[in-house]
Amino acid sequence: MQFSEAWLKSLVDPKLPTAELGHLLTMAGLEVEALEPAAPAFTRVVVAEILSAEKHPNADRLQVCQVNVGEAAPLTIVCGAPNARAGLKTACALVGAQLPGDFQIKQAKVRSVESFGMLCSAKELGLSAEAAGIMELHADAPVGAALRDWLDLDDHLITLKLTPNRGDCLSVLGIAREVAALTGTALEGVDCSAVAAQVADAYSVVIEHAAGCPRYVGRVIRGIDPRAATPAWMVRRLERSGLRAIHPVVDVTNYVLLELGQPMHGFDLARLQGPIQARLARAGEKLELLNGECIEPAGDTLVIADDSGPLALAGIMGGNGTGVTEATVDVFLEAAHFAPDAIAGRARRHGLSTDSSHRFERGVDPELPRFAMERATRLILDICGGQCGPLVEAGPGAAAKAPVEFRPARARRILGFDLDDGAMLGILARLGMSVEPSGDGFRVQSPSHRFDISREVDLIEEVARIHGYDAIPAVALRGDHAMLPAGEGARSVIELKKLLVARGYQENITYSFTSEELDRDFRSQGEILPLLNPIASQMGVMRGSLLGGLVQSLRHNLNHGQERLRIFEAGRAFISVAAQDQPQRIAALAFGACRPEQWGERARPVDFFDLRADLDALLHPRAAEYRPGVHPALHPGQCAQVLLNGAAIGWIGSLHPRLTQKYGFAKAPVLFEIDLMPLVEQAAPRYQGLARFPAVRRDLAVVVDAALPLGDILTAVGAVKPALVADFACFDVYQGQGVEQGKKSLAFKMLLQHTEKTLTDSEIEAAVAGVLELLTQRFNATLRG
Amino acid sequence: MDAVAEINAFEAAALAAISTASDDAALEQVRIEYLGARSGRLKDLQSLLGKVPKEEKPAVGKRFNEVKNRVTEALDAAKGKAGATVKPKAGPGIDYTLPGLRPILGKRHPLMQTIAEFKDIMGRFGFTACDGPEIEDEWHNFEALNIPEAHPARDPLDNFYLATAKKGSGAARLMRSQTSTVQIRVMEGRQPPIRVISVGRVYRPDEIDATHHCMFHQMEGLMVGEGVTMAQLKTTLRLFAQAYLGHDVSVRFRPSFFPFTEPSAEMDIGCVICEGAGCRVCSHTGWLEVLGCGMVHPNVFGHVGIDGERYQGFAFGLGVERLAMLRYGVDDLRLFFENDARFLKQFA
């Protein structure tokens, strides 16, 4: 909502500087989005009349003008504008004038002719961006008057960003009411008194859909002067509200819309056939709108129609061919009330947003149509002449609003400050509410323009708003507190992230949206989940895996000069729309050398086992089980499913060769993606006594089938828990010379320990033999000689 | 010989033996002979102490301890002297200016660092972090938040609905447009007192530019209890702003509108770029809008089965990106999602 400060001050003038007025509005919830002067600063520019314009003796394109600036003698001024001509009223900057852009006017010789000032274009005065020549002022302009006064340029344009509940402030009067309530300044009335009928024409109106259109006020005005012009003051107020002058009748309806907030429409009476109807659109009906577009309104759309069919999209836009034109002599004016529900969404459906639909969607004072009609009638008669018919009113009107209960004690309880009953009731009274005692509180009737007030809390908000949020004191946070239980061993996600960060990984945030193609490449579970209205096809579906985003990040970074990358992301993957099917995951990707280049270490490309070490670190102290797995994005021979306590929690592996090629990598990155929650939920550790007797290390090398996974042996030993064996780990895997073809040698390190005593040699030998026997029996292992 | 004389003799003999021992092996022999735990001569002396008359015991005991300590120290010193015979090889030292193994530390994402800081600050007020799904139903995203079916905010063009089920069918799902959904889920699950925050991704089909994105992060806060007031809301958020942005930050509250709170407010902070003088970032107002808040609307309490006459509550929601941009001076929101290592590594 944009309007002129001067217009507002004509209705209420709290005598505040502009900036303070802006602050007052902002702090009352009517946020000032922009506040700018109507014109930039300039001085000593007056209304002038060109008395004569002669060609310059020494220049083809210049004229030497005699200019009356209201002083005893005319001034000689050289001017280059083609429109400078005798009789023109224009703007003249006198010697000593300061113009925008730090430009000072001096007496000067222009090609040997003395010039005593400058005739100005609107552009030179900062009043418009472009200008074809010097300003052409109205013939009425008083010569010698300061231009700023004549054009009312010491004004400001104020733009408010209104919240959707404050439709009542979508008018200058509405804002003036607020200012009056906030400052206690008197509000000037707008003359909406009844205009007596001068002709008898009462055009008939039929309301078929009273829920959508509870009130329709119409009036005929006959015999307007087609040559009438909109007065300059009205044009100026319209322009400073962002509207162009079009036609006096249209201008008046726009003016009333801005002034009172009531959208109106003017029909050319000669184009109407039969009574006006307010009804829903019928199947197959078409309507050509004012903007030239032809639409077919849906069956839930309210239209204004006559016997020929729809004339206008009710409360949104008029139709082509029935509106007021330059040829119009007789007018039918409409001021109706449409329910927000009947208008909401309809304009947008046809790509429209109009001043009218904007207001009706938020609500308009249901009692306003009659007043707006009287106001518009008077203005049209003043400007265009003509004779008006009687005011025609149809429809039951909006339902009476129930009064709202208000308990000052509850207001104090919610707001948390002491404001006595009297002060609160005073605020409500300033807002035009009538208050009467009722039970332990009050019964409050709000005025019809405050259609947003329907509950006690609405009134509490009004009290706080007018009193000022700044006046609400700062008090300590106090109250009952129930802490939520937290798992005793649970780790925070941040702890897990820090662990990866310490191991060299950079955290990424990739989009939850992805392209369908990428999702097909990486999704291992669930169906593709497309969006109804994506903003772009590469953001068309919800990701089923975090791996795709990391692969894209790798590609971006390789394109920007990185050679080695460690990245991870924690976030949700979307398996289905069900709340429990949006698991939080943590995924990581490693690419490039295993360590940054250094003089003392040989570079080696990162491999599966580097990444596995990082994943093991995340899981520590628990150990995952790795089983051969199948994942659409991972290399079939280098992909493991990760299990924790027997439950599958994710995958680890190298990128599938097909995708490595598709995404243009010289070598396959290694990746993992696992569920986050199993990592977070961790049992608290239980203390175990420290061994007081030294452990003994024994190594054991055995030969087994080359195909036997090490994990099988570790699992078996872990399950059997051989006596005295405190630790059992593989430290070497060997195939080649000295080991039979198809076999491999595995070397294990064993720590043997007794909690009660120091072990004897024979006890140690027996323990080692026990393990060897287990390996021999279960895995056909032989001791390596 | 009395006990003191015996002790003195022991001292003299032991010190003499230490001074004549030539190497560590000899010193070890001396140690075993004089101080050995099983059969050293000190052990014999100790047994003498038991026979000393009671009145002499303090003096003799003191002397015994002196000697024991002195001999032990002399032995340790002599052993050190023996080690001192090992001489470092002559020749150049190492080049200290050669780099060690380059530290390979990653960084947490700046938005995640911001979120962690928010959680920490709110945690000090007793707010626990809660979580909820990102694909939501219309009940949690709209209905329960007092945004009825006909509300313009529910327009499919202003939301990311999933294509799976029709809007209004009850089975319709959309990407949550606000973290307020978690408010509802929390209040559905328990009765007051409640103090929770929820931080996470939200989705709106906004035009993507330097300050807008179709995916961003929000933090939502909710406190419900008896006697929770708007005054407390102001205090909480002022302290939050000061904890995050510094004690000299100025804040103001002005009335606003949200369907799920009333009274509603927006909190502005004094522009941290121009310090209130007016600049491009604050649109020359001197203030930056950072969050929306208010008292929980009675309709919301009604939807989740909390008695709105007995309990009161406040809620707030803020954009994480906006505050992170202010904190780090980032001028383009899109950088947060490009994952460019050159950008991310700056946030140590």
pLDDT of residue B153: 84
Q: Chain A contacts of B186, Cβ < 8 Å?
A: none
| Stretch A542-560: mean pLDDT | 97
| Residues pairing with A50 in the sheet | A67
| CB within 8 Å: B338 and A556 | yes
Instruction: For chain A, report the end-to-end CA distance as a whole number of angstroms.
Output: 93
**Residues ≥6 apart with Cβ < 8 Å to A18:** A5, A35, A156
Chain B residue with the nearest C-alpha to that of A501: B106
Q: State which amino acid sits at residue A664.
A: G
User: What percent of chain A clears pLDDT 70, i.e. is strictly above it?
Assistant: 99
Range picked from A154-158, A320-324, B273-277 for highest mean pLDDT: A154-158
**Closest C-alpha to A29, from A487, A458, A367, A627:** A458
Q: How many CB pairs under 8 A join A and B?
A: 248
Q: What is the pLDDT of residue B170?
A: 66
CB A65 within 8 A of CB A85: no
Mode of pairing for the β-strands spanning B194-203 and B128-130: parallel
- The answer to whether the CB atoms of A29 and B203 lie below 8 A apart is no
A477 lies within 8 A of chain B by CB: yes
pLDDT at B26: 83
* A593-608 pLDDT per residue, tens: 988 888 877 889 999 9
Interface subset of B 177-216, CB within 8 angstroms of A: 192-196, 201, 203, 205, 208, 214-215
The mean-pLDDT minimum among A208-217, B41-50, B112-121, B143-152 falls in B41-50
DSSP A476: -
Chain B contact for A166, CB < 8 A? Answer: yes
Interface test with B, best of A169, A405, A460, A472 (most B CBs within 10 A): A472
Task: Tell me the two tokens of residue A679.
Answer: 């990592």
Contact across the interface for B208 and A535, Cβ inside 8 Å:
yes
Does pLDDT of A487 surpass 70? no
Interface test with B, best of A469, A483, A501 (most B CBs within 10 A): A469
Q: Is the pLDDT of residue B278 over 90?
A: no
End-to-end CA distance of chain B: 75
pLDDT of residue B1: 58
Helix (H, G, I), strand (E, B) or coil at A31: strand
Tokens for A14, please give them. Answer: 């709290």
| Edge-to-edge strand list for the sheet holding A529-530 | A513-514, A541-542, A529-530
DSSP characters for B85-137? Answer: T--PPPS----TTS--SPP------HHHHHHHHHHHHHHHTTPEEE---SEEE
B298 touches chain A (CB under 8 A): yes
Residue A542's pLDDT band (boundaries 50, 70, 90)? very high
Smallest CA–CA distance, residue B67 to chain A, in Å, is 33
Q: How many CB atoms lie within 10 A of CB A427?
A: 20
Surface of B (11-30) touching A: CB under 8 A: none
Interface residue B255 vs chain A (CB under 8 A): yes
Residues of chain A neighbouring B175 (CB-CB closer than 8 A): 512, 531, 542
pLDDT tens digits for A342-387?
998 889 889 899 999 999 999 999 999 999 999 999 999 999 999 9
What pLDDT sits at residue A410?
95
Of B152, B193, B262, the CB nearest to A482: B193
Q: Please determine, for residue B85, whether its predicted confidence score (pLDDT) is greater than 70.
A: no
Contact B150 A344 (CB under 8 A): yes
Q: Does residue A29 belong to the interface with chain B, where contact is any CB pair within 8 Å?
A: yes
A-chain CB neighbours of B215 within 8 Å are: 511-513
CB-based contact, A476 to chain B, within 8 Å: yes
Instruction: Using CB atoms, pick whichever of B155, B193, B263 lies closest to residue A348.
Output: B155
B285: pLDDT confidence band, cut at 50, 70 and 90? Answer: confident
In chain A, which residue's Cα lies nearest the Cα of B189? Answer: A484
For the cut 60, the answer to whether the pLDDT of residue A615 exceeds it is: yes
Contacts of A711 (CB under 8 A, 6+ apart): A625, A626, A627
Residues 6+ apart with CB under 8 A from A389: A197, A198, A199, A200, A201, A202, A203, A219, A220, A221, A222
pLDDT-above-90 percentage for chain B: 53
CB contact under 8 A, B339 and A565: no
**Can you give the pLDDT at residue A776?**
93
Q: What is residue A503's DSSP assignment?
A: T
Question: Which strand (E) or helix (H) includes residue A439?
Answer: none
- A400: pLDDT confidence band, cut at 50, 70 and 90? confident
Give the A window 515-554 contacts with B, CB below 8 Å. 529-535, 539, 542, 553
A480 has a chain B CB within 8 A of its CB: yes
Give residue-wise pLDDT tens across range A707-757.
999 989 998 998 888 888 989 999 999 998 888 899 999 999 999 988 788
Q: What is the bridge-based pairing of β-strands A215-222 and A287-288? A: unpaired
Q: How confident is the model at residue B157 (pLDDT cuts 50, 70, 90)?
A: confident
Would you call B71 helix, strand, or coil by DSSP? helix
List CB contacts of A621: < 8 A, sequence separation 6 or more: A685
Percentage of chain A beyond pLDDT 90 is 80
Report yes or no: B301 at the A interface, CB cutoff 8 Å. Answer: no
According to the model, what pLDDT value does residue A87 have? Answer: 93
Q: In sequence order, what are the residues at sequence separation of 6 or more whose Cβ sits closer than 8 angstroms to the Cβ of residue A45?
A: A91, A92, A93, A94, A97, A99, A120, A125, A146, A147, A148
Q: How would residue A565 be classed by pLDDT, with cut points 50, 70 and 90?
A: very high
- Give the gap in angstroms from C-alpha B7 to the nearest C-alpha of chain A: 37
pLDDT band with cut points at 50, 70 and 90 for residue B49: confident
Tokens of A471: 């006046």
| B79 sits in which H/E element | helix B57-83
Q: Which residues pair with A641 in a beta bridge?
A: A627, A651
Q: What is the pLDDT of residues B215-269, one digit of tens each?
A: 999 999 999 999 999 999 999 999 999 999 988 899 999 999 999 999 999 999 9
SS3 B235: helix
* Matching residue, tokens 């507002």: A8
For residue A720, what are its two tokens? 């059997």
- What are the Cα distances from residue B35, in Å, to A147, B4, B50, B342? 113, 18, 18, 66
Find which of B104, B182, B207, B293 to mutate to test the A interface (most A CBs within 10 Å of its CB).
B104
Q: What is the DSSP string of B297-345?
A: PHHHHHHHT--TTT-EEEEEEEEHHHHHHHHHT---TTHHHH--HHHHT
For residue range A629-650, list pLDDT tens digits in order: 999 999 999 999 999 999 999 9
Nearest to A547 by CA among A684, A686, A652, A658: A652
A3-24 pLDDT tens trace: 999 999 999 999 999 999 999 9
Record the tokens describing residue A708, joined without a space. Answer: 């036997």
Dump the DSSP string for A561-597: T---EEEEEEEE--SSSSGGG--EEEEEEEESBSS--
> Could you tell me the sign of the dihedral formed by the alpha carbons of B143, B145, B146, B147, in that order?
negative
Position B83 confidence tier, pLDDT thresholds 50, 70, 90:
low
Average pLDDT rounded to a whole number, residues A404-425? 93
B266 contacts in chain A (CB < 8 Å): 31
Mean pLDDT of A92-102: 93
Distance of alpha carbon A70 from its chain centroid, rounded?
Answer: 54
CB-based contact, A488 to chain B, within 8 Å:
no
Contact A539, B214 (CB under 8 A): yes
Task: Say what the pLDDT of residue A307 is.
Answer: 95
Q: What average pLDDT is seen over chain B?
A: 88
- Residue A22 has a pLDDT of 95
Q: Which residues from B are below 8 Å from A497, CB to CB? A: 108, 112
Q: Is the pLDDT reported for residue B91 higher than 80?
A: no
For chain A positions 570-589, those within 8 Å of chain B (CB to CB) are 571-572, 574, 577, 579, 582, 584
Which range (A113-117, A395-399, A684-688) has the least confidence?
A684-688
- More confidently predicted of A212 and B279: A212
3-class state of residue A627 by DSSP: strand
Query: What pLDDT does residue A31 have?
Result: 94
CA distance A570 to B309: 41
Q: Which of residues 40-79 of B touch A (CB under 8 A)?
A: none
Instruction: Report the C-alpha gap between A748 and A702 in whole angstroms.
Output: 8
CB B263 to CB A535 under 8 A? no
Q: How far apart (Å, rounded) are the C-alpha atoms in residues A776 and B321?
A: 62
pLDDT of B39 strictly over 80? no
**B238 CB within 8 Å of a chain A CB:** yes
pLDDT digits (tens, 9 = 90+) for A209-219: 999 999 999 99
Residue A120 has a pLDDT of 94
Q: Pick from A164, A474, A534: which is nearest to B238 by CB?
A: A474
pLDDT at position B192: 93
A232: pLDDT strictly greater than 80: yes
Q: Which residues of A touch B163 (CB under 8 A)?
A: 529-532
Residue B154: its pLDDT value, please?
87
Q: Supply the pLDDT for residue B146.
A: 95
What chain A residue is nearest to B311 in terms of C-alpha separation?
A414
Determine phi and psi for A541, rounding to 5 degrees.
-135, 160
Is pLDDT at A625 greater than 60 in this prediction? Answer: yes
Confidence of residue B89 (pLDDT cuts 50, 70, 90): confident
Is the pLDDT at A329 greater than 80? The verdict is yes
Q: Measure in Å the smallest separation between the Cα of A448 and chain B Cα atoms.
A: 20
Contact yes or no for A571/A512 (Cβ under 8 A): yes
Between CA A568 and CA A674 the distance in angstroms is: 11
Q: What six digits make up the tokens of A148?
A: 């700023």
The verdict on A19 touching B (C-beta cutoff 8 Å) is: no
**Out of A77-91, A289-303, B3-17, B178-192, which region has the weakest mean confidence (pLDDT)?**
B3-17
**A529 CA to chain B: closest CA distance, Å?**
7
What residues of chain B lie within 8 A of the CB of A506, using their CB?
106-107, 341, 344-345
pLDDT averaged over every residue in chain A: 93
For residue A492, the model assigns a pLDDT of 87
Contact A560 B342 (CB under 8 A): yes
Q: Using the beta-carbon criterion (under 8 Å), do A535 and B205 form an inter-chain contact?
A: yes
Choose among A480, A512, A579: nearest Cβ to B215: A512
